[in-house]
Structure 1
Amino acid sequence: MTTPLNKQVDRLLRKVFGIEALRDGQRRVIDSVLAGRDTLAVMPTGSGKSLCYQVPARLRKGLTVVVSPLISLMKDQAEKLEEVGIASTAQINSSLSRSDEREALQAIESEDKDIAFCTPERLALPEFQELLRQTGVGLLVIDEAHCISQWGHDFRPAYLEIGAALSVLGNPQVLALTATATEDVIDDIRKQLGRPGLRVVNTGIYRPNLQYRVRQVTNPDEKSAVLLELVQSKKGVGIVYAATVKAAKEAYQMLLEAGESVTLYHGRLKAAERSENQNLFMSGERRVMVATNAFGMGIDKSDTRFVIHLQVPGNLEAYYQESGRAGRDGEDAECTLLYYHDDTRLQKFFLMKSKAPDHKHELDREKLERMIGYAQSGFCRWKLLLDYFDNPLPGFERCCRCDNCLSPPVISGEDFEQQQLGDLRLAEVVVGDQHQAGVAVG
């Protein structure tokens, strides 16, 4: 049934955003927000999560505050709004000059803006909280909300302050946005925000245009050779992810010396150099970006045709987030993990160095084991991901496009027994019922 509010939404979409219709997931999230519910939207990369707060921000009273983990991400969001004629946004971050920051704060105070972007660190400051409290926040949006659970304890502790900030602000309505969230992460988000009734709208993670592969390698030289082979054989632009700055530098140098069009991004580069290299990749002047995980969140290079991981990530959430930066235009793209067993020691070292509480440390260890299980598995890669995120598709058994579906591994003897144990451990996702899938054996 079409309601007056639905008509308002449709009119706004056509006149302001130039969109004729929302996707089903977007409509469900927007309807939930406009109904006044605290909402967590779990939507895959490229599914239009930003529209889920942009539309309500124009239709609701009060300021919409968007908490974003990266300055580059909030700049991108604000610029896209300006492109469609929405200039009523303010950005509060450390990149602003004093005069620009003062102007933005004054605009918020005078209620001259519909949307204000800030980092979690800025939201944690008492003076900024007081400004927002006096202005009146109608909706607090938490972009990349999985960071609350995955980064909050060590890398970005300011995420743990969001719950307290909500209380100071008078407990405004919340919209949390992420591409991935297991039940454990969802429960943690609810707990950290103090919103046990947070409604979850999960549109699913399956993206049939992504073809997942794992290439097993036995030593560093073989890994470098396979990387070069993959990059040279792929058409279009791509991203190569490394787990350390050292590995990123080495891969960049190797590809550069081989004559590839390549650039580099990691946290130890100066800000100006990072920005320049990012622009070279985004503009198409460089075909391949070699980077650590410092690159990618909020980066919208929709024609990325391949993502290669040089080392196993710490968990499947990170792997799905990073590999999911391929194929955002809906066209076919390949996501390849180069699996060298010794690389798992690096992630175990990271776990040892972590300052997370005992219970989270154990959970992170289990997640790493599942990531390793994925890399060693003979299952359909998409089936593994869907089971891990407790996101089953009715009747789905195999994607028919990943490496294991196209060329089922032949396993025998002791290796088969070990494979079964690893696969069963990975496949068991206990959320209500236990899910167990069969191993593909040639």
Structure 2
Amino acid sequence: MATHLQIRKMLRDVFGMEQLRPGQQQVIDSVLAGRDTLAIMPTGSGKSLCYQIPAALLKGSTVVVSPLISLMKDQVEKLDDIGLPADQLNSKIPAGEQAEALQGLRERQERIVFCTPERLATPDFMSLLHKADIGLVVVDESHCISRWGHDFRPAYLDIGAALDALGRPPVLALTATATDDVVDDIRQQLGAPGMRVVNTGIYRPNLHLAVRQVTNAGERAAEALRLVRENQGSGIIYTATVKAAQDLLAALEEAGESVALYHGKLHATERRQNQEMFMSGARRVMVATNAFGMGIDKPDIRFVTHLQVPASLEAYYQEAGRAGRDGAAAACTLLYFHEDKRVQQFFLSRNYPDAALLRAAYDAAARGERPRDKRSQVALKLLKEGGWLRQDRKLQYRLDGAAPRPLDLERLAEHYREKQERDREALTRMVSYAQSGFCRWKLLLDYFADEGAGLERCGCCDNCLSPPTVQV
């Protein structure tokens, strides 16, 4: 295992830095000791260094699983600049470059290889990884693996099976937030019950939190425009729906503001162009749904406004936390109109597989098919956990034992009704935050059971600066 002296020398000579930030040394030490590790560190705290240094010191290649194609290119270029060989494997990379990267793995070269969870789960790639020398697997944005998290992505469900198929190389999971439920689920989904957790806390004193109550949609839009004009620098305005994003974009453009639009229904080319305009400063404000922002490496975002209430405090913290990555002050404001809660309630009602969907997923697996919609992928994972399906070395689903009875499927569906209740509770907690007169940061710290900051009042949120008066 590398000594702290070797790590400091690499930090200085390769990365051009004099010292590590809080938590980084503990994570690096844990990874170099071969321990499965979960690092919970706020946005902008240097999570990437926690795998880059071990990757340079460990034998074998490091596979970094990330949903962020837009971020892979930046990471690879930065690593190439400092002399650490790195490749990316995703749909945007020319075939020649991908072939070269794959050849490097076949020849057991020591490299950092970035891939999406979808690529990791392909049979051909898994076959290749079996022949490679994998020293570490990194799961970025690991809260996406948890069914209790706000940003669950079914593509992550195959990562645990991939680790098993690869002979259980050490795994480093990275995220900015995780409640106790999410931590437990990450451990379970990755098959790493002894995973060490290094949690540096969520508190970021440069983020000035506020909630502004509005009484109708017109007032809400006017308030959003006022915040755009009130705040200097670049910013993001999050909406809960595509229609709200389109309507607000039109209103801001009519008011003469420099804005771009981002949501999942835009063509990929238009999304990419709009993101580039925002990142370069050609557009000052991005109006977006939650499809935008994960991994956005723009340190000088000065404000994040939520036009509508998010589904949970995890979602709110992740999205608001895209402001102020450079450490300078940034404004994070939620516009709260009580009827907006109904939008999130509508989304929640559509999320959960029932017994009929479980049966359809099982029948599809019996025919050798694999449905790709989100709810069906969840159903396949549930059937595997129940013992009716298994995954082979190429991560293909196979029947395992007798077929499930109707009662079995009802019991599996009940598991997700429990998640529905948890999601309703999370939305209730989000609404309580919006309506509360207590310190905003204290409310967040309590929600995430983060006692490390020892904070009672942040002194810079709206409720600390202007405590609400009690009407007698």
Secondary structure, in 3 states, of the residue corresponding to 2:63? strand
- Taking a change above 3 Å as real, the CA distance of residues 353 and 411 of structure 1, as seen in their structure-2 partners, is farther
Contact 1:13–1:20 at 8 Å: present in 2 too? yes
**Amino acid aligned to 2:459:** C
Per-residue CA deviations over 1:271-313 (Å, capped at 9, x if unaligned) read: 1211111111111111111111111111011111100000111
- 1:112-144 deviations in Å (ceiling 9; x for gaps): 341111111111122211211211211110000
Residue pair 1:309, 1:337 contacting (<8 A) in 2 also: yes
The one of 9, 12, 23 aligned to 1:11: 9
Q: Deviations over 1:354-387 (max 9, x none)?
A: 0262222221111111111111111100000000
Between 75-84 and 374-383, report the one with greater CA deviation: 75-84
Distance 1:24 1:294 in 2: 30
Alignment pair present for 1:82 and 2:141: no
AA aligned to 2:268 is A
1:270 shift after superposition: 1.5
Shift, 1:99, TM fit: 2.7
* Contact persistence 1:154–1:355 (CA under 8 A): no
Determine helix, strand or coil for the equivalent of 1:130: helix
**Alignment correspondent of 1:378:** 437
Q: Which residue of 2 aligns with 1:63?
A: 61
Residue 41 of structure 2: aligned partner: 43
Aligned residues: 410
2:463 alignment counterpart: 404
> Gaps spanning 5+ residues in structure 1: where?
414-442
SS at match of 1:65: strand
How much does 1:410 deviate?
2.2
Q: What code does the residue aligned with 1:382 have?
A: W
Q: For 2:209, what is the secondary structure of its paired residue?
A: strand
In the alignment, which of 238, 263, 267 is matched to residue 264 of structure 2? 267
Residue 387 (str. 1) matches residue 385 (str. 2): no
1:253 aligns with 2:224: no
Kept in 2, the 8 Å contact 1:152–1:159? The answer is: no
| Cross-structure match for 2:95 | 98
The aligned runs of 1:190-339 (5 Å cut-off) are 190-339=187-336
Task: Say whether the 8 Å CA contact 2:148–2:181 is kept in structure 1.
Answer: no
Confirm or deny: 8 A CA contact 1:209 1:332 kept in the other structure. Answer: yes
SS of residue in 2 equivalent to 1:319: helix
1:66 counterpart SS class: strand
CA contact (8 A) 1:153 1:160 kept: no
Segment of structure 1 superposing worse, 358-367 or 399-408: 358-367
In the alignment, is the contact (CA less than 8 A) between 1:140 and 1:175 conserved in 2? Answer: yes
Calculate the TM-score normalised by the size of structure 2.
0.84
Normalising by structure 1, report the TM-score: 0.90
User: Which position in structure 1 is the counterpart of 2:144?
Assistant: 147
Percent identical pairs in the alignment equals: 65
Contact 1:301 1:328 in 2 (8 A): yes
Aligned to 2:167: 170
Aligned-CA RMSD value? 1.6
- The CA distance in 1 between the partners of 2:112 and 2:97, in whole Å, is 16
Deviations 1:318-373 (A, max 9, x none): 10010001111111100000001110000000000002622222211111111111
- Does structure 1 residue 21 correspond to structure 2 residue 19? yes
Among 326, 337, 341, the alignment partner of 1:340 is 337
Q: CA deviation at 1:395?
A: 4.2
Q: Name the SS of the counterpart of 1:33 in structure 2.
A: helix
**Distance verdict in 2 for CA 1:161–1:4, change over 3 Å:** closer
> SS at the partner of 2:443?
helix
**Counterpart among 63, 72, 79 of residue 70 in structure 2:** 72
Secondary structure in structure 1 of the residue aligned to 2:223: helix
Residue 423 (structure 2) pairs with residue 364 (structure 1): yes
**Contact 2:201 2:453 (C-alpha < 8 Å) held by counterparts:** no
Deviates more, 1:148-157 or 1:224-233: 148-157
* Structure 2 residue aligned with 1:111: 108
What is the rounded CA distance, in whole Å, between the counterparts of 1:171 and 1:329 in structure 2?
37
Partner residue of 2:377? none
Superposed CA deviations along residues 135-176 of structure 1, whole A, max 9, x for unmatched, are: 121111000000011588996212111111110000010100
Aligned counterparts of 1:4 and 1:98: Cα–Cα separation in 2: 37
Q: Could you say what secondary structure the match of 1:24 adopts?
A: coil
